[in-house]
A and B are shown apart, each in its own frame.
Chain A
Amino acid sequence: MNLTRRRLLELTTISGAATLLGGRFAFAQESQVLRIGLSTYPPHFRPWVNVGWSGHMVSSLINRNLISYNPEGKLVGELAESWENTAPTTWRIRLRDAKFHDGSPVTAADVEWTIAAIRTDGSGAYMFDALKPIKAVNVIDDRTFELETDGPLAIVPALLAYPFFAILKAESTSEEDYGIGAGPYRIVAAEKGVSIELEPNEHYFKEGIPPLKGVVVTPYIDENARVAALTAGDVDLIDYVPWSAMEAISANKDLALHKVDSGAFMFLTFNGNGPFADPRVRQAVAFGLRREEFVKSIFFGFGAPMTGLPRSSATPYYREEQAKFWGYDPERAKALLKEAGHENGLEVTLLSSSQYSMHRDTAVLVQAQLAEIGIKVNLLMPDWATRVSMGNNGAGDFQVQGNALDIIDPDATHTLVDPTLSPTYLRSRNFEIEGLSALYAAGRQELDPAKRVEIYQQADQKVLDGTSMCGLAYRATGYATRASIKDFGMLPDQLSVFSATGFDKLKFG
């Protein structure tokens, strides 16, 4: 054949088109394999170390806790079939007939080994401190054990529902550091920063679950790239949907937005070695902010004003008047400042970070709004790593924070609101709210639910009056999926960031 230039051009065009069309089909979805676009690649798969909310998603796909939450926020058994408080310091837990990935049964000895491994010095486990009140694990039989605590401890079931408290097969971490779990999927291949491939665990204890043939997790660190991957059909599910994209995703008939408005939250903490030692100045800040503007301008309307402590309305610990305590009242704010001796205003420094837009924009808005009541705010906004370090060293008169809760139990707020706990970048310091620590201690020990409600209401009121934290806005937690994904459920309120515990049921419609 005589290859002319024209012929070469034709052939190039045809082969180019074929490649593109071929590509269209090449990245089409493999049947019944869920493709997840994750906001980060977990630094590792060790199940007990906190690897963040995105890392928790992978952990939830391969591991199971003893107890978890249902979409209504109620504690439900996972590997645990039942639990009861048999004596003030004893909790008896009965295991299901569940199996690990290798088909071996989940036994009380495995739970005992897991707890011992978490409590080993230097384990880096998230639950290392939280499990300190557990004095002993007594194995009764293969499927029954008792937890003995060093005093009455009401939060034991909630402790067992904490993220990063997966039960592994005893000694299984000696081969792979992520061990052998009992989750709905198991890892078959993982290339750091590229993808994680999972296949179903045929021994999973829930009947007919998981319904999928597999899961492929691909990290998309950039939020726009993540949304683009979903829109282009490269993936079926993404986490951390940026608020700026929520409206467009809602309007797209091929996609579904799953969100909880009262998810994680933004708040302020105070350093008591300056003007914020005076509770009236802290209260002035709390009453001088228009929180709707935070929701609208930073979270594109996807969130809710945070006018009290983060208490789920589905629990008895929720009180309407406490939840709406910090309304916008500039006159009251000015009066409080005057009362505290700052009628001519004051100048303070706010520590935030320029690295994340929600932290940066929150600081800018706080600065603008507090100027209206006579507080001049100077901003200190380094990158995140520096901000954490400066925060730990006590920099700034007050700080912008973002967080969620790990459990629904009211005790979960203790680390956020008690300034007498060890000083870290995440909470107020250098002042005390009288009686607060004692109330939290009493709440943890009180086994009578009605009395616990009373105790935490008192504690909450102390926090509100003393303003050891100042709520700003809840930000919506969002996942987005192809419309064909079914049985997607989210956990309520602040737990919504851990909704992946229910992803074992996900299927294609």
Chain B
Amino acid sequence: MGWFLRRIAQSIVMLWVVISLVFLSIHFVPGDPVELLLAQDGATPDPAMVEVVRGQLGLDRPLHEQYVKKLGDLLRFDLGKSIVDESSVGKEVARRLPRTLELIAAAGLLSLLIGLPAGVLAALRPASLFSRMANLASGTAQSIPVFVIGTLFVITFAQLLGWLPAGGFVAFERDPAKHLLLLIMPATTIAVGLSAIVFRITRASMLDVLPLDFIRTARAKGVPRRRVILQHALRNALMPVITVFALQLGGLLAGTVLVETVFNWPGLSGMLVSGVNARDYPVVTGVIVVVAAFYIGLNLLVDILYGLTDPRVRK
């Protein structure tokens, strides 16, 4: 029990450190949100007006007071209001987070569907033409920046062929078909690089597992080849794949900004970038806190599961 409580306490401390770092760094970066707010497209903000608005937003108070207030708000699960448009940051995050998660989930699924079978096939015949071609393709896919892939998709499938919309977002409940159509290109763009990683890890892991004794024994016992590969070899080869895959997905939570930009997908990353550009402190802090809490929460969950399944971890 003590181990679980310690892990939970560690996670809370980690979250507090993240919150403090984000709060301090965004406030110490030069740039005044009020000046930006009042200086749209070349408007000349009156310094008196800047001071009035700064006072209204509480930005004229000492930094430590603002910090304590922010911690208090976060403890009440209140992410505050955007400086730019006064909208609730919590509501906006709640609106955008599922969109980013959906994008990541679709990309993840797609990359598993491509990367896993390709990795297994390439490992079964390492010297085959398929294996060489797949290796080449995965190397290429990993080396091309995601915005280049996205742009090529837009040019090909939207502008030249006209098969898919160039970008945008429609809520699923409003128009399911259009929602899925709009999801295809951004999800595939992320999946290209991700499936290359899945392919390489699967292939390498399978190559490690296939020569092992238990595989030879299974074959010698007359277990059908397909069952040996899928149930014996792949099952044992999956651990590193899952580990790397999970890390990649976690990184995507706030790292899909280029894809969201190219495909006009209104997710969390775009919100973070525009928040940073406008020095919208509550937005930046809110998004990062949610992403960090998500990430730390997932890690905590995995650790607890490890602890439950393997008592050695708890020691």
Contact = CB atoms under 8 A, between A and B. Distances in A.
Interface in B14-63: 29-33, 35-36, 38-47, 49, 52-53, 56
Contacts of A427: 44
Interface in A229-258: 229, 231-234
B41 A53 contact: yes
Interface string B263-289: 110100011001001110000000000
Q: Which of B49, B84, B278 has the most CB of A within 10 A?
A: B49
Interface stretch (A18-26, A149-157, A431-439): A18-26
B277 A229 contact: no
Interface in B219-275: 261-264, 266, 270-271, 274
Contacts of A389: 30-32, 35
Q: Which of B38, B264, B270 has the most CB of A within 10 A?
A: B264
B169 interface: yes
B53 A422 contact: no
A355 to B, nearest CB: 8
Given A193-B270, A422-B46, A232 B165 contact: yes
Interface in A380-404: 382-386, 388-390, 392, 401-404
A424 B35 CA distance: 10
Contacts of B278: 385
Contact of B39 (A193, A221, A425): A425
A361 to B, nearest CB: 18
Contact of A194 (B85, B169, B262): B169
Given A225-B261, A388-B32, A389-B30, A422 B47 contact: yes
A126 interface: yes
B197 to A, nearest CB: 25
A224 interface: yes
A385 B165 contact: no
A402 B42 contact: yes
B181 interface: yes
A234 B47 contact: no
Given A19-B177, A19-B181, A121-B52, A383 B277 contact: yes
Given A192-B95, A229-B264, A389-B32, A50 B181 contact: no
Interface stretch (B130-138, B151-159, B293-301): B151-159
A22 B165 CA distance: 12
B236 to A, nearest CB: 27
B32 A221 contact: no
Categorize the interface residue count of chain A.
35 or more
Nearest to B177: A26
A193 B270 CA distance: 10
A404 to B, nearest CB: 6
B162 interface: yes
Contact of B40 (A55, A122, A232, A425): A55
B206 interface: no
A352 interface: no
B208 to A, nearest CB: 30
B166 interface: yes
Given A234-B167, A383-B277, A392 B35 contact: yes
Contact of B154 (A52, A228, A426, A497): A228
A228 B277 CA distance: 24
Contacts of A50: 38, 40-41, 43
B40 A222 contact: no
Given A228-B154, A232-B166, A404-B41, A385 B31 contact: yes
Given A26-B181, A53-B41, A193-B270, A228 B31 contact: no
Q: Which of A23, A53, A231, A392 has the most CB of B within 10 A?
A: A23
Contacts of B52: 121-122
A427 B46 CA distance: 13
Nearest to B258: A222
A388 B39 CA distance: 9
A423 B46 CA distance: 9
Contacts of B167: 220, 225, 228-229, 234
A403 B35 contact: no
Interface string A66-92: 000000000000000000000000000
Contacts of B155: 228
B168 interface: yes
Nearest to A384: B277
A19 B179 CA distance: 12
A124 interface: yes
A497 B155 CA distance: 29
B172 to A, nearest CB: 13
Contacts of A24: 162-163
Interface string A430-468: 000000000000000000000000000000000000000
Interface of A: 19-20, 22-24, 26-27, 43-44, 50-53, 55, 121-122, 124, 126, 128-129, 191-194, 218-222, 224-225, 228-229, 231-234, 264, 355, 382-386, 388-390, 392, 401-404, 415, 422-427, 497
21 contacts: A19-B180, A20-B164, A22-B177, A50-B41, A122-B52, A124-B53, A193-B266, A193-B270, A220-B167, A224-B262, A225-B154, A228-B154, A232-B158, A234-B167, A355-B277, A385-B30, A385-B31, A388-B36, A389-B31, A390-B30, A402-B42
Given A234-B166, A385-B279, A423-B47, 10 more contacts: A20-B163, A20-B181, A43-B85, A121-B52, A228-B159, A228-B166, A233-B162, A384-B36, A385-B31, A392-B35
Interface of B: 29-33, 35-36, 38-47, 49, 52-53, 56, 84-87, 92, 95-96, 151, 154-155, 158-159, 162-171, 175, 177-178, 180-181, 261-264, 266, 270-271, 274, 277-279
